[in-house]
Amino acid sequence: MSKKTKAIGEAISRIDGILKVTGRAKYSLDFAVKNAAYGFLIKSEIASGKIIDIDTKLAEKAEGVIAVITYKNALKLKNTRRMRGGAMLQDDNVRYFGENIGIVVAETFEQARYAISLVKVKYQKSEAKTDLNEIKNLAIQSRSRQDEIKGDVEKAFVDAEIKLDETYVTPIEHHHTMAPHSTVAVWDGDEKVVVYNESQIVRGIQAAVSLAFGLLRKNVRVVSPHIGGGFGAKGGAWGHVAICVMAAKMVKRPVRLALTRQMMFNSVGLRQKNVQNIKLAATKDGKLTALAHETITHTPIDQEFVEACGDVSEKMYEVPNLKTSYKVAPMNIILLTFTRAPGKSTGSFALESAIDELAYKLKFDPIEFRLKNEPKKDPISGKPFSSRSLVECMQAGAKKIGWNKRKFEPRKNRVGDYLIGYGLGCGTYPARQRMTSALVTLKKDGDEIKATIELGASDLGTGTYTIVAQVAAETLGLPVSKVGVKIGDSNLPPAAGSVGSVGAASFSNAIFECCEKALTELQAKTNVNWVKKPTVLELMQATNVNEFQTRTDTRPLAETRNYSAHAFGANFAEVWVNESTGMVKVKRFVTATGAGRILNPKTAESQMHGGVIWGIGMALTEESEVDPRWGNFVTRTLADYHIPANLDIGEIETIFIDEKDKYVNKLGVKGIGEVGIVGVAAAVANAIFNATGKRIRNLPITPDKLV
């Protein structure tokens, strides 16, 4: 044991890895609950209208059925403002195809699933809005996203020497977490409930359930030690959570509710379709003079959610005249939600494709063009960047990918029937820290010290357990093996959620401060004038205690507000396009990122790989198709919603720029969960243009668009 223990920045394998590969990691449905019943949701089969009647008599008589709950007999919820997506059996309205309109509770899962086939529903249909192409001309100004205007874009565009005016379309996408959503609800009387639910924000589920059922927050316990992926879909409480808790209360038994993969399409949100118009203006020597980024999208008929597609345009390049705007068209589709790098991944496809197009028009190398328009400060706020390593990212990535092999004119690189191209797409994501509390307990047994860290954080599968242990180990001077981590429980000190790339920065700084506080408080108790900094063992021996505990409530640094804090990255793709079939293979991909201090290169690299793979899927294969006649998704399983498989992905190389940011937070940590996907789709699309000469502005880029 040594105070010089080095753990932060080490490529340590996940401390929870053995639990996962041996099947001992517990997800919601893995918790043993006595006398549990099983629920299965009843879904609407129209996109808009009212329920005239639900006949549940046959279902209620079916073997094993305990209850059939619909709007007719459901509990009335107190306050549903923290619940997502409506669909909590509170009225007879139908707002989208697949809305929850009931639940069957039975002794077994199979009995519940069979019984829903016996439920007969009569509807009064009304005209549904199910096709954005038909209603986008009716789009109105967003209420939640205001226009950002700097200078006079219209005049600058009229006066410009070189112009670009193009529209880019990104489709609906779904999250498709490895673990589908599931909930188990266990009541203790009428005033207390335990909810097992995979959640990116443990306290968020607690707040939503307490409000909905009129309970004291402390009487709602949420347990979520492992999540199985979330990507934004598990960031809040969806309707099925309330229905499960309601059903358990009504049947006076624990209820287990698991969503099928098909249910995931219309139960837990999605990434909306975005139609983005980009206007760029520049001088002949390559200086941008104007940038307009207008987004038209759809939103549910009774709520509004809009991806901030224009955010990247406000941060990436120096431009004197800039405008971002948003218009929305209400549609009969489930509530949209945050999806990995919301707005930035989709917005970067449009912006970075347009930048590539303008560079080609100006006969500039894409890197040279970006360097010419690199800002010295935040283009909108005017604040200095806490750190910005985009130039270094482009330089390092270009060297690694072999950018010098790229030909300026398309169709000049060929091997047999394959056209080879290279593309660049850059991106950014805010670096933020949120309030987080942490508790450390130190125990001495002879000459051995063990620490336990507790906080209500969550682990999406990205390595939270491990980085928490690493920060505590280095701060306390203990081996990582002597640090235990407890997270994923609302009974623990409140913590930031694993959303918006705030988790790592928030958790690590809270743990650092908590462990530092423990050492300081122990030293204050010793009344010893130490010649050198004592170890935690020496401190506990000097104070003659075998156990010590302390807690911190950590806030972001006040001075961070004086800076524009972001992670930046440059993505390089090498694609091989079969000229005969139009099939695209991303042979190599290099991602170079400036994201402050990297807590664990091994888990960080894994995160970046995940972002790249998702971005490649976004570029080439992923699309959720709505049948406009009915409003349901025709892509309803992983057989027809195509996510990349191993053979679809070539070599991925990850570079982290050595970036020391002393302003963003005490440890200089920036989140990387989101930035890894930003700019990836654009890099692939730009490489395809470089290979084929075909500019595809409508994702995904399927073979039929290239042949």
The residues carrying an active-site annotation are 674
CB 382 within 8 A of CB 314: no
- Which residue from 553, 520, 556 is spatially nearest to 536, judged by alpha carbons? 520
Supply the DSSP string of 322-356, one letter for each residue.
EEEEEEEEEESSPPP---SSTTHHHHHHHHHHHHH
Residues 412 and 593: beta-carbon distance below 8 Å: no
| C-alpha distance from residue 119 to each of 45, 66, 102, 266, 688 (Å) | 12, 14, 10, 20, 51
**Sheet strands side by side (includes 566-578):** 414-415, 418-430, 566-578, 584-594, 649-656
Show the beta-strand stretches assigned E in 528-648: 547-554, 566-578, 584-594, 626-627, 632-633
Cite the DSSP H helix spans in 478-636. Answer: 503-526, 536-543, 601-620
- Would you state the structure tokens that stand for residue 181, as one six-digit string? 């959503």
Distance, in Å, from the CA atom of 499 to the CA atom of 227, rounded to the nearest integer, reads 13
- Residue keyed to tokens 């050595």: 658
Comparing CA positions, the residue from 392, 468, 476, 411 lying closest to residue 436 is 468
Tokens of 448: 């051995």
650: phi then psi, degrees, rounded to nearest 5:
-90, -150
CA distance 574 to 147: 36
| Bridge partner list, 279 | 165, 292
Taking the C-alpha atoms of residue 513 and residue 511, their distance in angstroms, rounded to an integer, is 5
C-alpha span between 437 and 441 (Å, rounded) = 14
User: In a 10 Å sphere around its CB, with 0-12 CB exposed, 13-18 middle and 19+ buried, how is residue 11 labelled?
Assistant: exposed
Location of structure tokens 């204050």 = 524
Residue with tokens 């991602």: 591
Alpha helices in 527-653 (DSSP H): 536-543, 601-620
Residue 25 has a CB neighbour count (10 Å cut-off) of 17
The sign of the CA dihedral 16, 21, 23, 28 is positive
Residue 239 phi, psi dihedral angles, 5° rounding: -55, -35
- Name the 3-class secondary structure at 585: strand
- Minimal CA–CA distance to 99: which of 48, 172, 135, 55? 48
Tokens, residue 172: 């609906």
Q: Which residues contact 506 (CB under 8 A, 6 or more apart)?
A: 433, 434, 435, 436, 495, 496, 554
Distance (Å, whole) CA 443 – CA 118: 59
H helical segments located in 479-586: 503-526, 536-543
Which pairs count as long-range contacts for 26-29, CB under 8 Å and 24+ apart, including other chains? Answer: 26/225, 26/226, 27/179, 27/182, 27/198, 27/226, 27/227, 27/228, 28/182, 28/183, 28/184, 28/196, 28/197, 28/198, 28/224, 29/182, 29/184, 29/196, 29/256, 29/258
Conformational region of residue 228, where left means phi above 0, alpha means psi within -120 to 50, and beta covers everything else: left
